[in-house]
Amino acid sequence: MKKTIRPLSLILFLALIPVSIQAADRWRLDFENGYASAGYNDVQIPKSTGTRFSLTDDFEIKGAYYFRVRLDFRLGARHTLSALYAPLSVKASGRTAVPIMFNGTAFPAGVEAEGIYRFNSYRLTYRYEIVQTGRWEVGIGFTAKIRDAAISLETDSLSSEKTNVGFVPLLHFRVQWNASPKLALNLEGDALAAPGGQGRAEDVALKLRYRLSPAMTLQAGYRFVEGGADVEEVYNFAFISYIGAGLVIEF
């Protein structure tokens, strides 16, 4: 019978990679997954003629499974380049309490409707480590983010969707306190606000990490993503909480 390599077997194999590999590590794969829930999500599209409503207050919004994958490449002792893929989609449903004008479509009051909020993120980050004391690691840098966002509202007879794909520059930071050779507390994020209050974006995570081996680290923690835009085309601000866990694999 032909044998296949199962994912668990691969993970156990990586966990047993000897200590000597640490000196040659240049790649780091960071996988995170868990549960995402919305704190608020206010929508008005367009700002001048649309009805402002809340996907969280006016509808029942559901939590969702999420995952994020980041691949780091160390260019040198203090220089790191990384790529991130972070998709997200949450759904809301309920009966409209008032008429809603959304993206040029009039939704009457008293009908069952479903809303979908999608916010997929693709990022390329450069970070420079300004502190490397063994106990502390501090890095700063910048992130080029491509957002692939959409908000839709649909009933049995009506539907409308507003999509937005755009570039967002962000500042990046990372602080890690190594409490012991195995245990660390990591704070990392991207954030920036546009001048004049037209928009902002923050993605910040606090994680506890436990090193299983030189090649594998367990992690768990809390993340929030907040922000949005206040322009004529769209008014939307959202707050998403994430409770997650995952693995960091170095090779």
For 115-148, write each residue's pLDDT tens digit: 999 999 999 999 999 999 999 999 999 999 999 9
Report pLDDT for 12. Answer: 44
Sequence-separated (6 or more) residues with CB below 8 Å from residue 124: 81, 82, 83, 84, 143, 144
Sequence-separated (6 or more) residues with CB below 8 Å from residue 61: 37, 38, 41, 55, 90, 91, 92, 115
Tell which CATH architecture fits domain 26-250: Beta Barrel (2.40)
Report pLDDT for 197. Answer: 81
Report pLDDT for 79. Answer: 97
The pair of three-digit structure tokens given for residue 156, joined into one six-digit string: 């049995």
Report pLDDT for 25. Answer: 72
Q: What are the boundaries of each domain within the chain? A: 26-250
Asked, as a colleague might, if the bond just before 46 is cis with ω within 30 of 0, I would say: yes
Confidence of residue 49 (pLDDT cuts 50, 70, 90): very high
Residue 92 has pLDDT above 90, yes or no: yes
pTM summary value: 0.87
CA-to-CA separations, 193 to 44, 74, 168, 207, in angstroms, rounded? 20, 28, 10, 24
Nearest to 66 by CA among 121, 27, 113, 115: 121
Residue 67 has pLDDT above 90, yes or no: yes
